[in-house]
Amino acid sequence: MVKLLVAKILCMVGVFFFMLLASLLPVKIIETDFEKAHRSKKILSLCNTFGGGVFLATCFNALLPAVREKLQKVLSLGHISTDYPLAETILLLGFFMTVFVEQLILT
């Protein structure tokens, strides 16, 4: 049990430092050379697009089955039946709310 806790803490610290490094990388790219600013902006734009695609793929491939399963359990406990794609709607609302808050913070 202790080994599992230590492994989780080490992974959490590792992910924290990896995310910190990845977050500071765009700052380093922008500061490198003002003459290559156009190229740096293009690289950052491509990385941002790739990150958005990864986020979207994770959203649909990993979270959607889990949301469907949990929502089905909750609806069956309340004896509620619906043909409306409620799980997909909730998932997309959460996804777009996250994107909206991110864009609000960045601008």
pLDDT of residue 7: 92
- Judge whether residue 83 has pLDDT over 80: yes
Residues of the chain above pLDDT 70, percent: 92
CA angle 102, 35, 45 (to 5 degrees): 25
Tell me if the pTM is above 0.85. no
- How many Å apart are CA 99 and CA 47, to the nearest integer? 16
- How many Å apart are CA 80 and CA 52, to the nearest integer? 35
What are the tokens at 76? 């069956």
Average pLDDT, the chain: 84
pLDDT of residue 76: 92
Collapsed DSSP state (helix, strand, coil) of residue 14: helix
At 28-74, the pLDDT tens digits run 766 666 666 677 778 778 888 888 888 788 877 888 888 889 999 99
DSSP alpha helices (H): ranges in the chain? 2-32, 37-58, 64-77, 86-106
